[in-house]
Amino acid sequence: MPLDEHGLIARYFAPFAGQGAHGLLDDAATLAVTPGCELVVTSDAVVADVHFFTSDPPASIARKALAVNISDLAAKGAVPVGFVITLSLNETCDENWIEAFAGGLNEASQFFICPLLGGDTVRTPGPVNISITAFGEVPAGQMVMRQGANCGDYVYVTGTIGDAALGLALCKTPKPAWADHLTPAESRDLIDHYLHPSPKLALRDALRLHASSAMDISDGLAGDLAKLCKASQVTSTIQREKIPLSVAASKALFVAPELYDMIITGGDDYEILCTISGAKASAFEEQARLCKVQVTPIGVINEEGGLPVFVHEDQNMTYTRGSYSHF
């Protein structure tokens, strides 16, 4: 006989629930906040066939659903302290699917040291829908905001840009022509970026100490930079050739220069975009080096004056629909 909701929760989710979850047997969890700190709260929902493929491995879906929330906490300078999940499941989600999903969630929860606190499980006649709300802590008043970038600040990004968007393109049928120019390892690496984002949690203290503003890049560099600039009432000038690319992305771009738009407007990077004043730049870079997060200055903040400008050779480009919007 298949397990009911409570049986599934008890078997697959309760074993890795945190202390405040009370064994997932109550209607609510408790969460104590460290004195002197405040909570940072972020929510992200993902929907099958919008944000992931129904055929993606359930463990990968789970890890990504948590990772995209952890990425927000990282960008805000927060230490994760827990999360809740609401899972809307449909008839395609048998016990094997749920076991694999819970396994991936458990692994991600342990990796990010972010315990499961509670949630809700419901049936839907529609696509699988996963909503996670994650909690982090910062010393009171020290959340790193989108707002705060100042003229003259350097614009930094972590990691490399565009890999997930290219990875997503590789998951589609037919495969793009440029795929033939990549080694199998390079293709796997791009797809892995799409399936398994690695939020730059190690950078959280450096951001809190040095960044004038920050956000994670989830909807494409161009669009997210425009949002950060708008919140700070500034604009920016980016040197396109300084945007860090992986070897695989560089190879793809070499054979298909038109991929550039996908690289800087595609989604799912889950890198961090931040601004650092000139006075703090070397200390920030040093701290990033110590915590093994690659950071690259790609441009500067300018006075308000419209959309961020991407400079390439003699051309100045802006992206009016720069953001890959799921909405």
Q: Is 88 in the site for its own copies (CB under 8 A)?
A: yes
Residue pair 210/284 in contact (Cβ under 8 Å)? The answer is yes
Q: Is 271 in the site for its own copies (CB under 8 A)?
A: no
Q: Is 41 in the site for its own copies (CB under 8 A)?
A: yes
Q: Is 304 in the site for its own copies (CB under 8 A)?
A: no
Q: Is 325 in the site for its own copies (CB under 8 A)?
A: yes
Residues 196-215 that bind its own copies (CB under 8 A): 215
Question: What's the rounded Cα separation, in Å, for the pair 268 and 162?
Answer: 8
Nearer to its own copies, 133 or 275 (CB): 133
Of the candidates 10, 11, 14, 45, which one interacts with its own copies according to CB under 8 A? 45
**DSSP string of 304-317, one letter each residue:** S-SS-EEEETTEEE
Classify 265 as helix, strand or coil: helix
Q: Is 274 in the site for its own copies (CB under 8 A)?
A: no
Question: What's the rounded Cα separation, in Å, for the pair 243 and 234?
Answer: 20
Q: Is 72 in the site for its own copies (CB under 8 A)?
A: yes
Of the candidates 175, 289, 312, 326, which one interacts with its own copies according to CB under 8 A? 326
Nearer to its own copies, 224 or 285 (CB): 224
- Of 108, 109, 89, nearest to 21 by C-alpha is 109
Q: Is 56 in the site for its own copies (CB under 8 A)?
A: no
Residue pair 151/234 in contact (Cβ under 8 Å)? The answer is yes
Question: What's the rounded Cα separation, in Å, for the pair 321 and 105?
Answer: 34
* Element holding 244 (H helix, E strand): none
Of the candidates 63, 146, 200, 240, which one interacts with its own copies according to CB under 8 A? 146
Helices 58-75, 95-111: axis angle to 10 degrees equals 30
Question: What's the rounded Cα separation, in Å, for the pair 233 and 205?
Answer: 25
Q: Is 28 in the site for its own copies (CB under 8 A)?
A: yes
Question: What's the rounded Cα separation, in Å, for the pair 21 and 37?
Answer: 21
Nearer to its own copies, 125 or 184 (CB): 125
Binding segment for its own copies (CB under 8 A), chosen from 134-142, 201-209, 256-264, 282-290, is 134-142
Minimum separation from the CB atom of position 245 to its own copies (A): 25
* Element holding 66 (H helix, E strand): helix 58-75
Of the candidates 59, 62, 75, 190, which one interacts with its own copies according to CB under 8 A? 75
Q: Is 139 in the site for its own copies (CB under 8 A)?
A: no
Report CA-CA distances (Å) from 302 to 118, 152, 234.
Answer: 44, 6, 6
Residue pair 284/156 in contact (Cβ under 8 Å)? The answer is yes
Binding segment for its own copies (CB under 8 A), chosen from 39-47, 98-106, 240-248, 296-304, is 39-47
For its own copies, the binding residues (CB under 8 A) are 4-6, 20, 22, 25-33, 35, 38-47, 49-51, 72-73, 75-76, 78, 84-88, 117-127, 129, 131, 133, 135-136, 138, 140, 143, 145-147, 215-216, 227, 231, 325-327
